[in-house]
Amino acid sequence: MSDQPILTVTELGVRYGRLQALDGVNLSVAPGERLALLGHNGAGKSTLFKTILAFLPPATGQVTVAGHPPGTDAARTAVNYLPETVAFPGTVTGAEVLRYFSGLRRAPFSAISGLLDRVGLAEAAQRPVGGYSKGMRQRLGLAQALIGTPRLLLLDEPTSGLDPISRRDFYAVIAEAAGRGCSVLLSSHGLEEIEHRTERIAILSRGRLVADGTLDDLARRAALPTTIRVTAHAGQASRLQAQIGGTRFNGCRLDLSCQAEQALPLVARLAGLPEMVRDVDLHRPGLSDLYRHYSDLTAGEIRP
């Protein structure tokens, strides 16, 4: 597998008239990498996708897909796209939809039944799409995105409308594709579901890339405090608070905030107070905390 990025975005700027939709965005995706693209509505996620797909031209900077400019035959062959809301003619069957897209991409029709099986639609293959639920249409959209073994998948809110089991199965298919070397750029608001299903996280805010790295990278840069939640034995909360400090809640609970490197020594200290401490929970900052932190940064606070 080549070490060259399948997607490279360099100092990208995109404008809608006087509105700067993207400003100096730098991003790359390696072969087989799963990158989550996060950001509030209007942050620039859809604009980035449209530029990669050659629907919008850059005002500044450049984008390459598999080493080629967007819109070229080589770039179009390398990338497939799944929008948040898929729409197929209601009178055709699921199998006919995949046959049509397979023809467009010069992919073998023999792969269609396997694709339908992978997304859980084998039994609905000959049913008209008009009778599909939203989740079924989304799974059919995933199947069409996998046609022709693309090198890059662009997925825009791909689990919209899926139930929890279908979401789990969806990410299993994506992991399988990534294992074969397909790169994935996934836009989502479902922070909990992507936290442990992607290798890297990029956050856009007001058209600028404010964070890019692994979850551990982002946590280290943000330096958000760890919360230690301590439950005291009955009648011991005041005595415990006098010794360790913290903020008291609900009579018997204390919350302590500390930096990550201080957490384990503090837990060890609490373990030495069994007559006062009934339970200890450690709460490290999760993706939702990091997302909130980076999205709130001002332009002057953004660090590379």
Q: Residue type for 99, please? A: R
pTM over 0.95: no
Residue with tokens 């989304």: 138
Task: Characterize 233-265 residue by residue with b for buried, 16 or more Cβ atoms within 10 angstroms of its Cβ, and e for exposed.
Answer: beebbeebbeebebebeeebbbebebeeeebee
DSSP string across 37-102? EE--TTSSHHHHHHHHTTSS--SEEEEEETTB-TTSHHHHHHEEEE-SS----TTSBHHHHHHHHH
Q: How far apart are the first and last CA of the chain?
A: 29
Give me the pLDDT at residue 172, please: 92
Q: Tell me which DSSP letter residue 224 carries.
A: P
Please report, for the chain, the start and end positions of each structural domain, with discontinuous segments joined by +: 7-219, 225-284
Evaluate whether the domain defined by 7-219 bears CATH number 3.40.50.300. yes
Q: Is 152 helix (H, G, I), strand (E, B) or coil?
A: strand
Compute mean pLDDT per 10 residues along the chain, 304 residues long, and list them: 87 95 97 96 94 97 97 95 91 97 94 94 96 91 94 92 86 94 94 90 95 92 93 93 90 91 93 95 92 78 51
Please state, in angstroms and rounded to a whole number, the distance separating the CA atoms of residues 155 and 191.
15
Q: Helices (DSSP H) in 124-276: which residue ranges?
A: 134-145, 164-179, 191-194, 215-222, 237-244, 260-271
Dig out the tokens for 60 from the structure: 């500044």
Q: Would you tell me how many other CB atoms lie within 10 Å of the CB of residue 50?
A: 18
Pairing of strands 152-156, 79-82: parallel
Question: For residue 6, which phi and psi values (nearest 5 degrees)?
Answer: -75, -30
Please state, in angstroms and rounded to a whole number, the distance separating the CA atoms of residues 170 and 158.
9
